Amino acid sequence: MTTEKMAFSVKETADSLGLCSNTVYELVKSGKLPSITLGRKILISKIELQAWLKNGNQPPAAGAGVN
């Protein structure tokens, strides 16, 4: 049984978007890319990333993508 990831690291996000990690860190730092921090690890939710891409790289509305 395989489990699907719910969130990605900065490196995984950068690799999947064809960007460098520094660009993703800057997007997170500026608040343009929604993320969560657990301890020292920054995670980007798969649902939030999809919404961010769909909305033309704008932060999703509060509660968007949350069921």
Domains of the chain: 7-54 (1.10.10)
10: left (phi over 0), alpha (psi -120 to 50) or beta: alpha
Prediction pTM value: 0.78
3-state secondary structure of 40: coil
Amino acid residing at 55: N
Is the C-alpha dihedral spanning 40, 4, 67, 55 positive or negative?
positive
Query: Which residues 6+ apart lie within 8 Å of 42 measured at CB?
Result: 9, 10, 25, 28, 35, 36
pLDDT of residue 65: 47
pLDDT tens per residue across all 67 residues of the chain: 678 999 999 999 999 999 999 999 999 999 999 999 999 999 999 999 999 999 877 655 544 444 3
Task: Specify the pLDDT at position 64.
Answer: 47
